């Protein structure tokens, strides 16, 4: 059933949390407490721990499903205000691959496509993706494609999407990377490379070509369990004159050689010139509702605004914009999700704040989070529901509002900033995550700085300031009314740059490192149509690692159903 029909049903669930709950560890019973007491206990615990054990003694684990303003406020509160270092989001678990692949190849985490490309492609290649079921709204766009496209699915499984495909490349597990290399070798050997584009807009092609000479195409095809006919049909997808778009999701992002597999798809698109034009692109479909917002503003793996914690200039810039002492900004991003949990088991992380996530249920390894819980001095869980597996383990449970009970923005796969509106009140004493974070900040003595964050839209204004001069610059957005009226606005959208979201884009309004990168197209905006990228030399990089194939040989051919 389409999500839109039932989107508000979850807000009326009988197990919604309505009041803060405190666990008595001696009796094992939970009692209702006031918000004032709940925030007081929380601030006292974290303050004492910070003073006693230092900045690395606690961590928060968050999500890709809350508004960007809430991510921004939480990450800033934690690292700049409360003075802790470690934090991560389950966004990293699903989107780190795309983030790193894009950043290394293009110079920035910048998905190049717009959703219209589903309707403009001659060939759509879905790798480790089942959009027919997992992304039904996007699949509707595929079905609206009037170019009679060839749908190709590269997946060991006979998924619903594979059942509708014109070509199912049912390869053996772990053979993705080698197979994509073999396809690219064939493309090069047959002279199907867009030489003009490669020479003008890329670096590293000759090194990649020399490496691909070592790929035994026939042996690779056999190891992948692919017939001669299927392999040939797959190679033919990339012949000149066709608009080819390659789409991937978790089947690539969570694989054992994920970044290089994503970059093999990027390499195929770069070599054939399938980027920056309608119906083309190496395109990552975001798994969670606001993973792009998390990548830019959660302050976890990257410094807010897509910056680097280790870059002194970036730290100084953030301090100036936010009105902070530069010494309050850490010089490293801290530990990743798995490292945080391992450190908790080892007794180094002594407190966790879990927001809108349920790691006791979703984290790999049966009983992993139970071992974490046994070592923690203090566990806070902030969630819509009081009875999730993680909430049931909490020392302190904080009832949070759901998506239709608060406002803010989210950023989707095509870089489009959309507005989430409040349509009803949260139940009982539950409140928006944004307000809970503000209460913690105010109770921690951070009132002066938090005075600038009086509302989600005020936070959006600071996010705009942090975007200025960055490749994702959206300083031209006037505010929530503008986003709502436009039906969402793609970044970049710099001040003075664009009249609206549907026009050709002038070059003079763009930040320097992105000038000439954006191409305009009716119905949406793509990146890199001019052949300019965000790297130091303005060229995309062909990247590969021969060691990946040596470390991870394909498994024996297997037919999965």
Q: What is the CATH number of the domain that holds 73?
A: 3.40.50.740
Whether residues 111 and 227 share a domain: the answer is yes
Task: Tell me the pLDDT band of 520, cut-offs 50, 70 and 90.
Answer: very low
For residue 558, what pLDDT band results from cuts at 50, 70 and 90? Answer: very low
Cβ 543 vs Cβ 204: under 8 Å: yes
From residue 171, how far is each of 98, 224, 234, 323 by CA, in Å?
22, 5, 12, 54
Q: Examine the domain organization and report whether 366 and 251 are in the same domain.
A: no
* Residue 299 CA, distance from chain mean position: 13
Residues 163 and 298 grouped into a single domain: no
Identify whether 154 is part of a domain: yes
CATH number of domain containing 178? 3.40.228.10
**343 located within any domain:** yes
Residue 472 lies in a domain: no
Q: Does 369 have pLDDT greater than 60?
A: yes
Side-chain half-sphere exposure of 477, counting CA atoms within 13 A: 33
d(CA 284, CA 99): 9
Residue 381 CB coordination number (10 Å): 30
Q: Are 236 and 359 within one domain?
A: no
Q: Are residues 30 and 130 in the same domain?
A: no
The total number of structural domains that make up the chain: 2
CA 535 to chain CA centroid, Å, is: 21
pLDDT bucket at 553, cuts 50 / 70 / 90: low
User: Which band of pLDDT confidence, cut at 50, 70 and 90, is reported for residue 521?
Assistant: very low
CA count, 13 A, side-chain hemisphere, 359: 29
- Segment 186-208 shows an average pLDDT of 98
Domain co-membership, 19 together with 112: no
Q: What is the CA radius of gyration of the chain?
A: 24
Q: Tell me: the pLDDT tens digits for 416-467?
A: 999 999 999 999 999 999 999 999 999 999 988 778 899 999 999 999 999 9
Tens of pLDDT, residue by residue over 507-516, are 444 444 444 4
152 with 11, same domain: the answer is no
Domain ranges, residue 217 = 107-287+540-551
Q: Which residues of 482-501 are buried (b: 16+ CB within 10 A; e: fewer)?
A: ebeebebbbbbbbeebbeeb
Mean pLDDT of 339-344: 96
pLDDT digits (tens, 9 = 90+) for 91-138: 777 888 999 999 999 999 999 999 999 999 999 999 999 999 999 999
Q: Is residue 185 part of a domain?
A: yes
Smallest CA-to-CA distance from 62 within 71, 54, 53 is with 71
What's the confidence (pLDDT) of residue 548? Answer: 63
Instruction: Give the model's pLDDT for residue 3.
Output: 60
pLDDT at 363: 86
Three-state DSSP class for 129? coil
Whether omega before 392 lies within 30 degrees of 0, making that bond cis, reads no
Between CA 242 and CA 249, with CA 248 as vertex, the angle to 5 degrees is 160
Domain membership of residue 494 (yes or no) is no
More confident call, 211 vs 512: 211
* Claim to verify: residue 161 and residue 185 sit in the same structural domain: yes
Task: With H, G, I as helix, E, B as strand and everything else as coil, classify residue 443.
Answer: helix
Same domain assignment for residues 282 and 299: no
Same domain, 272 and 297: no
> Is the predicted pLDDT of residue 522 greater than 80, yes or no?
no
Classify residue 534: in a domain, yes or no: no
| Strand-strand pairing, 416-420 and 86-89 | unpaired
Is 167 within 8 Å of 126 (Cβ atoms)? no
Instruction: Tell me, letter by letter, the H, E, C secondary structure of 28-51.
Output: CEEEECCHHHHHHHHHHHHHHHHH
Which has the higher per-residue pLDDT, 500 or 374? 374
Return the pLDDT at 519: 41
- Residues 169, 252 within the same domain: yes
pLDDT for position 451 = 80
Which has the closest alpha carbon to 344: 33, 54, 50, 86? 86
Domain boundary among 396, 430, 461: 461
Residue 479 lies in a domain: no
Mean pLDDT of the chain: 91
Is residue 500 in a domain? no
Q: How confident is the model at residue 90 (pLDDT cuts 50, 70, 90)?
A: confident
Instruction: Name which of 508, 495, 467, 38 is nearest 292 in CA terms.
Output: 467
Burial of 236 (0-12, 13-18, 19+ CB in 10 A): middle
Residue 298 and residue 282 share a domain: no
Lowest mean pLDDT among 25-39, 51-65, 383-397, 501-515: 501-515
pTM value is 0.91
């Amino acid at each position: 059933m389409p999500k839109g029909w039932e989107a508000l049903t979850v807000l009326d669930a009988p197990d919604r949390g309505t009041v803060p709950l405190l666990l008595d560890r001696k009796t094992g019973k939970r009692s209702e407490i006031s918000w004032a007491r709940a925030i007081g206990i929380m601030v006292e615990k974290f303050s004492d721990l910070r003073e006693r054990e230092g900045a690395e003694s606690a961590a928060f684990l968050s999500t890709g499903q809350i508004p960007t303003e809430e991510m921004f406020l939480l990450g800033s509160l934690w690292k700049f205000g409360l003075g802790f270092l470690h934090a991560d989001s389950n966004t990293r678990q699903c989107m780190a691959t795309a983030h790193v692949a894009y950043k290394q190849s293009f110079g920035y985490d910048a998905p190049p496509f717009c959703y219209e490309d589903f309707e403009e492609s001659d060939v759509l290649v879905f790798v480790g993706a089942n959009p027919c079921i997992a992304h039904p709204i996007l699949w509707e766009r595929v079905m609206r494609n009037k170019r009679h496209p060839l749908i190709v699915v590269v997946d060991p499984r006979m998924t619903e999407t594979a059942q509708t495909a014109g070509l199912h490349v049912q390869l053996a597990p772990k053979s993705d990377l080698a197979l994509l290399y073999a396809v690219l070798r064939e493309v090069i050997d047959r002279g199907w490379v867009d030489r003009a584009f490669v020479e003008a807009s890329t670096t590293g092609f000759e090194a990649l070509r020399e490496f691909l000479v070592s790929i035994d195409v026939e042996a690779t095809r056999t190891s992948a369990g692919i017939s001669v006919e299927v392999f040939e049909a797959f190679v033919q997808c990339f012949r000149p004159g066709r608009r080819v778009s390659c789409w991937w999701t978790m089947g690539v992002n969570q694989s054992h050689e994920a970044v290089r597999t994503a970059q093999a798809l990027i390499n195929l698109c770069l070599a054939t010139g399938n980027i920056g034009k309608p119906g083309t692109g190496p395109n990552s479909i975001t798994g969670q509702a606001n993973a792009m917002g998390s990548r830019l503003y959660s302050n976890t793996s990257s410094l807010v605004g897509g910056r680097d914690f280790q870059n002194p200039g970036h730290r100084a810039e953030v301090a100036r914009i936010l009105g902070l002492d530069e010494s309050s900004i850490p010089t490293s991003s801290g530990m990743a999700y798995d490292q945080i949990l391992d450190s908790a088991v080892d007794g180094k992380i002594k407190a966790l704040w879990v927001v809108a996530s349920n790691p006791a249920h979703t984290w790999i390894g049966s009983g992993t989070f139970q071992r974490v819980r046994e070592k923690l001095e203090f566990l806070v869980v902030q969630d819509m529901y009081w009875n999730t597996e993680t909430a049931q383990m909490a020392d302190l449970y904080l009832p949070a509002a759901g998506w239709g009970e608060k406002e803010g923005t989210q950023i989707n796969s095509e870089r489009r900033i959309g507005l989430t509106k409040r349509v009803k009140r949260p139940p009982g004493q539950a409140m928006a995550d944004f307000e809970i974070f503000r209460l913690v900040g105010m109770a921690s003595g951070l009132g002066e700085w938090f005075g600038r964050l009086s509302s989600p839209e005020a936070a959006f204004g600071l996010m705009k300031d942090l975007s200025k001069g960055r490749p994702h610059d959206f300083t031209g957005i006037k505010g929530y009314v503008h986003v709502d009226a436009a039906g969402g606005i793609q970044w970049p959208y710099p001040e003075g740059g664009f009249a609206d979201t549907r026009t050709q884009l002038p070059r003079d309004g763009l930040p320097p490192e992105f000038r000439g990168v954006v191409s305009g197209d009716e119905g949406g905006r793509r990146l890199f149509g001019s052949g300019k990228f965000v790297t130091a030399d303005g060229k995309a990089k062909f990247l590969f690692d021969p060691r990946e194939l040596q470390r991870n040989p394909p498994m024996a051919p297997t037919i999965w159903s």
